[in-house]
Amino acid sequence: MKQKVFYVGGPPRSGTTFISDWITQAPEAYCAHEISARISNKKDEEVVQLLLGYAASGNDRYGKRKQREFLDWENIPVKKAPEQLGFKQPVVWQNPADCPAVADRFIDRMKGKRILIFRHPIDMIASAKHREKTTANWPGYSVKELCAFWKCAFEHTQNWAKDPDRLHVVQWERLLLDHDAEKALLERFLSLKLPQFAGYENSSEYFKILQRTTSFEQGVTGNKKRELLSPQEVKQINQLLEAYPSFGYKATAIA
């Protein structure tokens, strides 16, 4: 059977893990977690075989001790030869030309699909600073680097939009505030049925709390993690929004 392939990306701390874990709940799909380095420089058929191996074993997740400190990866729904195979890798490069070949040329050769998820950059960068403060495995990206990643992910949407049937863009805020509609769009894009899912990191109650303080334009205005940002960092992020007024996100005056 010839598997369909897909890639899940976006700036770090924007929901890429949630989307990949959610897709993996579907019986006919498996999305491997951050394995680009392991499958780079492989032939297309070798990549597919490695993805099949991860789908059958879950070792792309079970082998990551540090991530499992905050992700409840205990019962990953492994499966043999699912119809759809994917992998997720956040955009942690600053130029589209530096995109790993497996997320770019491999997907093109296989006529695969791409899903990019974004969130308000204030919340994305505040979440990154929180992750750096509370876990052992965060790389310690600077605000300047994180802004560059967000910008690069946005530029990918422009470059890959030449084939709109193979690109789907998700906004985290819309996923929170209009979940059923966004779920239906993702299901239609991948041609599969997704179950209800709250992720392996937070509870459904946590998302309900977020919904009460979230807006499409301002992000999660009640996000306590924003307090980790200095006024200068907020100014830097707002300059990014002024240069890339995308998705309707507005600059903020916090801090």
Domain assignment of residue 225, yes or no: yes
Number of domains in the chain: 1
Residue 95 lies in a domain: yes
| Confidence tier at 178 by pLDDT (50, 70, 90) | very high
**254 within a domain of the structure (yes/no):** no
Residue 252 lies in a domain: no
The pLDDT of residue 48 is above 50:
yes
Residue 72: CATH number of its domain: 3.40.50
Where residue 68 falls among pLDDT bands split at 50, 70, 90? Answer: confident
What's the length of the chain? Answer: 255
| Mean pLDDT estimate for the chain | 92
pLDDT tens per residue across span 188-201: 999 999 999 988 88
pLDDT tens readout for residues 207-254: 888 889 999 999 998 889 999 999 999 999 999 888 888 788 988 765
Is residue 190 in some structural domain? yes
Q: Is there a domain that residue 249 lies in?
A: no
Residues 153, 11, 98: CA angle, nearest 5 degrees: 50
Kind and range of the H or E run holding 32: strand 29-33
Q: Check whether 255 has a pLDDT greater than 50.
A: no
Q: Which domain holds residue 190?
A: 4-243
pLDDT, average across residues 97-107: 91
Give the pLDDT score at 195.
95
Report the C-alpha gap between 46 and 102 in whole angstroms.
12
Contacts of 162 (CB under 8 A, 6+ apart): none
| Residue 250 covered by a domain | no
Q: Is residue 248, in this structure, part of any structural domain at all?
A: no
pLDDT tens for residues 134-176?
888 889 899 999 999 999 999 999 999 989 999 999 999 999 9
